[in-house]
Structure 1
Amino acid sequence: MTDEHPEARRRLAEAQGRVVAALVAGAAVPEGFDPERMRVQALSLVAKRRSVVARIRPDAAAAAGPDLVAEFAAYARSRSAPPTGYRADADDFAAWLRERGRMPDPPRKPRWWSRFLP
């Protein structure tokens, strides 16, 4: 199959990249898009991420407590793009909270050989 319109495809891919960057990375809203609608959609995407992260890592949600909305928004703003996958996002959020003293270090797992020690 030959690509009859490589330049059009390249321009479309660049435009789509600008829209995604505006939605998930706080980039400027591309020309032709309503800034208020883009802002609302970006907030909605962060809320969706937050709810999934809270289900995957309830310990992180509990550590953030009543500040979960603000903490997750700050975490999301600190990144140029979300990590790939919800599990990575949840673990990164927990690490972000830990760096700020909002979440304790995970308990250390005993070494397999420690069961043989007196």
Structure 2
Amino acid sequence: MSREELAEQQAALLRALLAGGEVPPGFDAERLRVEADALLAKRRRVVAMLRPDLPEALGARYRELFDTYGRAHPRHVGTGMRADANAFADWLRERGEISAPPKRSALARLLRRRD
């Protein structure tokens, strides 16, 4: 197998795991779905840690809304988690789920200054 073929297979696997792409030949669809769900849950937890104002504002709807966002907006190479969290907040505002930018906690402001 050439390097190009291997790179394309790896890219197809990442698309399936992170962006809802088709399951590549030779992979178990159910196992990939379970792993994709686990990766989305990890991303959701990290965003909640970086922007605790969002789960506070959304309550029980946080998971549903984040999962909808996360599946439609996979992270791109070079995009940091803080930028991802802020993009989710922007998406929520555009949809009318939150009105004004939520107030960030003192910890979030401190962390933002360190970027």
Which bin holds the TM-score, normalised by the shorter protein? 0.7 to 0.9
Partner of 2:4: 10
- Separation of aligned partners in 1, 2:37 and 2:30: 11
The alpha-carbon deviation at position 31 of structure 1 amounts to: 0.5
Q: How many residues align?
A: 100
TM-score computed with the length of structure 2 as normaliser: 0.81
Partner of 2:45: 51
For structure 1, the 5+ residue unaligned runs are: 1-6, 108-118
Q: Is 1:96 the counterpart of 2:83 in the alignment? A: no
Partner of 1:112: none
TM-score computed with the length of structure 1 as normaliser: 0.79
Which of the two has higher C-alpha Rg?
1
Partner of 2:33: 39
Partner of 2:107: none
Q: Which runs of 4+ in 1 moved over 4 A?
A: none
RMSD between aligned alpha carbons? 1.4
Partner of 1:113: none
For structure 2, the 5+ residue unaligned runs are: 103-115
